[in-house]
């Protein structure tokens, strides 16, 4: 694959179409989950080989490439997105996550952060050798709380017995995910919290 692949508009469109296609297996990440997943990888201070994480992207299933050319193109675009995320964070800028968006009854577009946050936490789970000690500190745990909170709430909605799972959630997490003002504030804070989590790997001061 070429290291020169750049995620331009055409490449982003191709990547979105591939991951959101109904031809993908159920366990394959959706595009918002992929973006969250790669963001957490960018915040992990170690050299990661593609073999360390690519199967998690496909969900340990066959992603259903049309041919070797499509496989090469998609994997190159995944790397291009990862490099783009790393570049934004390295420059100290806030990300623009690829949130999933839906239209509500008032025909207004609403951000649904659950998938992105689940993708982020999936990558965290893959590299707990770094994240577990980090998240033992109160300051770092607070940084990731909105992300883990939305991820847990999304999991509760996908659970077969969703009502029971929801009752087991921490009340603060349920409130975070459902109370409009808190929800909007938490969503808006995530790009900046990610920048702080990225800064931790270089022992940089938090904002």
Name the one residue in this structure whose structure tokens are 């989590």. 197
> Distance between CA atoms of 121 and 107, rounded to whole angstroms?
31
The beta-strand segments (E) located in 11-167 are: 100-103, 109-112
Give the per-residue pLDDT at 202.
63
What is the reported pLDDT for 160? Answer: 53
**Per-residue pLDDT, 2:** 44
Per-residue pLDDT of the chain (207 residues; tens, 9 = 90+): 445 677 899 999 999 999 999 999 999 999 999 999 999 999 988 767 888 899 999 997 889 998 999 999 999 999 999 999 999 999 988 899 999 998 877 778 899 999 999 999 999 999 998 899 888 888 888 899 999 999 999 888 876 544 544 555 678 788 888 899 999 999 999 999 999 999 987 654 444
Please state, in angstroms and rounded to a whole number, the distance separating the CA atoms of residues 200 and 194: 10
pLDDT of residue 175: 87
Half-sphere exposure of 180 (CA within 13 A, CB side): 1
Please report the pLDDT score of residue 207 as a whole number.
40
């Amino acid at each position: 694959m070429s290291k020169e692949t750049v995620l331009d508009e055409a490449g982003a469109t191709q990547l979105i179409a591939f991951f959101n296609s109904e031809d993908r297996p159920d366990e394959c990440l959706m595009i918002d989950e992929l973006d969250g997943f790669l963001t957490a990888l960018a915040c992990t201070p170690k050299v990661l080989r593609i073999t360390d994480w690519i199967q998690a992207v496909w969900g340990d299933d066959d992603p259903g490439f049309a041919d070797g050319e499509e496989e090469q193109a998609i994997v190159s675009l995944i790397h291009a997105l990862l490099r783009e995320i790393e570049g934004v964070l390295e420059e100290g800028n806030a990300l623009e996550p690829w949130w999933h968006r839906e239209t509500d009854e008032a025909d207004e577009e609403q951000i649904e952060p659950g998938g992105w946050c689940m993708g982020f936490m999936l990558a965290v789970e893959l590299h707990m050798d770094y994240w577990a000690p980090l998240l033992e500190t109160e300051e770092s745990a607070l940084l990731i709380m909105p992300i883990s909170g939305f991820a847990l709430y999304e999991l509760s909605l996908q659970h077969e017995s969703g009502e029971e799972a929801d009752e087991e959630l921490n009340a603060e997490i349920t409130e975070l995910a459902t109370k409009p003002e808190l929800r909007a504030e938490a969503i808006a804070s995530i790009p900046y919290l990610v920048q702080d989590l990225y800064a931790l790997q270089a022992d940089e001061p938090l904002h």
